[in-house]
Amino acid sequence: MIVGVLKEIKAQENRVCMTPAGVEVMKQHGHEVLVEASAGIGSGFSDADYAAAGARIVAAPAEVYAQSDMVMHVKEPQPSEYAMVKPGQIVFTYFHFAAEEKLTREFMKTGSVAIAYETVTGPHGGLPLLTPMSEVAGRMAAQEAAKYNERVHGGRGILLGGVTGVAPATVLVLGGGIVGTNAAMMAAGLGAKVYILDMNLDRLRYLSEIMPKNCTPLMSSPAMIRELAAQADAIIGAVLVVGAKAPKLITREMFKGMKPGCVLVDVAIDQGGCFETSKATTHSDPIYEVDGIIHYCVANMPGAVPITSTMALTNATLPYALQIADKGWKAACKENAGLKNGLNMVGDKITFKGVAEAFGLPF
């Protein structure tokens, strides 16, 4: 198969969908890889790195689309690309169709086969192509909480880990899933006193087994959140209720009982946010203040660390890309039910229930 690696053109997106190491493996499997010039620059890979791994560098996205059987991206193709997509061409990337009606309807017109990273499921369930980005965002959340607690950034001026003879900061993590677990681990690793709350007893049991002594997993309830929010120097929001907007667990009213300068990091902002006062921010203007409480609500946190994010994402996507390239999408989806769950669109037919339901389209 000829596999095309496109350069990301969405604003502030520096990741790339395949590393030179991935190109080498594709080549070993007998595939040809076309890489759009400067596709890897934002992630630290030069065209020469890709060429050395066996890729053919092409100047423009139109050439990648015209010559490839399968094209790969990180983010959804942008409007300037729709006309370049060929009927029958496999497009493998994050699409998030259900959130974007225009993208869905425009893509149906391309006649392509759209396989979405975000709906591929793993052999034991879960969303293996979303997990790495949750890990990145969770770990970053602890870093951002530490940074914005510094006085120069408007914070309380407290070091997360404290020092000898001085108490550490208290960090409250709401949600003990992938994001929350990674955030709590990092905050605990820095020496903070950490509480992690979840509503799922099995998850709390697991967290109790794996977390270090300075991290306490507790059952989430409004009373528990109120009590711990009053003690917190930083609160990390990492809840997810599948198929619903995030619940507002911290209200503006509660700010009155909280420490001035407390930092709220709302990782769940892409699902509407779990603090009443959250609104999405960007890396170029990440924080704002409400009643003395600092809010960090960047919707694409992994974009700040493209080198790590690219490696983490491509570690997860490459095995699926290889299956598609080796067998063709039909046979690959027949053999791997999890990959089949990634199939969102074949020609003008929607093949993923959630997308069809979102826009009243036939399924």
List binders of ligand NAD among 134-173 (CB under 6 A).
134, 137
Decide if residue 309 touches ligand NAD (CB under 6 A). no
Tell which one of 119, 271, 277, 351 touches ligand NAD (CB under 6 A).
Answer: 271
Q: Which residues have C-beta within 8 Å of that of residue 105, sequence separation ≥ 6?
A: 359
96 annotated active-site:
yes
Using CB positions, name the residue nearest to ligand NAD. 177
295 annotated active-site:
no
Q: What do you get for the CA distance between the two ends of the chain, in Å?
A: 29
Q: What is the secondary structure of 96-115 as a DSSP string?
A: -GGG-HHHHHHHHHHT-EEE
Q: Of 234 and 301, which CB lies nearer to ligand NAD in the complex structure?
A: 301
Query: Which residue type, as a one-letter code, is found at position 96?
Result: H
User: How would you list the strands of the sheet with 215-219, edge to edge?
Assistant: 215-219, 193-198, 170-174, 234-237, 263-266, 293-296, 287-290
318 in Cβ contact with 25 (< 8 Å): yes
Decide if residue 316 touches ligand NAD (CB under 6 A). no
Extract the tokens encoding 98: 């259900």
Decide if residue 54 touches ligand NAD (CB under 6 A). no
How far is C-alpha 257 from the chain's CA centre? 32
Tell which one of 71, 238, 305, 311 touches ligand NAD (CB under 6 A).
Answer: 238
Tell which one of 51, 299, 346, 361 touches ligand NAD (CB under 6 A).
Answer: 299
Q: How far is CA 86 from CA 35, 108, 178, 247, 311, in A?
A: 18, 12, 37, 41, 29
List binders of ligand NAD among 80-119 (CB under 6 A).
none
Q: Of 28 and 208, which CB lies nearer to ligand NAD in the complex structure?
A: 208
Which residue in this structure is represented by tokens 């490459």? Answer: 318
CA atoms of 264 and 156, how far apart (whole Å) = 12
167 in Cβ contact with 177 (< 8 Å): no
Query: Which residue type, as a one-letter code, is found at position 270?
Result: D
Instruction: State the minimum distance, in angstroms, from the CB of residue 140 to ligand NAD.
Output: 8
Decide if residue 179 touches ligand NAD (CB under 6 A). yes
Binding segment (CB under 6 A) for ligand NAD, from list 88-96, 228-236, 264-272, 305-313: 264-272
Q: Of 18 and 127, which CB lies nearer to ligand NAD in the complex structure?
A: 127
Tell which one of 115, 270, 305, 333 touches ligand NAD (CB under 6 A).
Answer: 270
Percent helix, strand, coil in the chain, to 5, is 40, 20, 40
DSSP helix/strand/coil, 205: helix
Decide if residue 235 touches ligand NAD (CB under 6 A). no
CA atoms of 162 and 140, how far apart (whole Å) = 19
Question: What phi, psi does 262 have (nearest 5°)?
Answer: -55, 140
- Catalytic residue, from 31, 69, 73, 96: name it: 96
Instruction: State the minimum distance, in angstroms, from the CB of residue 11 to ligand NAD.
Output: 15
Decide if residue 11 touches ligand NAD (CB under 6 A). no
Q: Of 71 and 136, which CB lies nearer to ligand NAD in the complex structure?
A: 136
Tell which one of 25, 103, 250, 301 touches ligand NAD (CB under 6 A).
Answer: 301
Active site residues: 96, 270
User: Which parts of this chain interact with ligand NAD (CB under 6 A)?
Assistant: 133-134, 137, 174-180, 197-200, 203, 220, 238-241, 246-247, 249, 267-271, 299-302
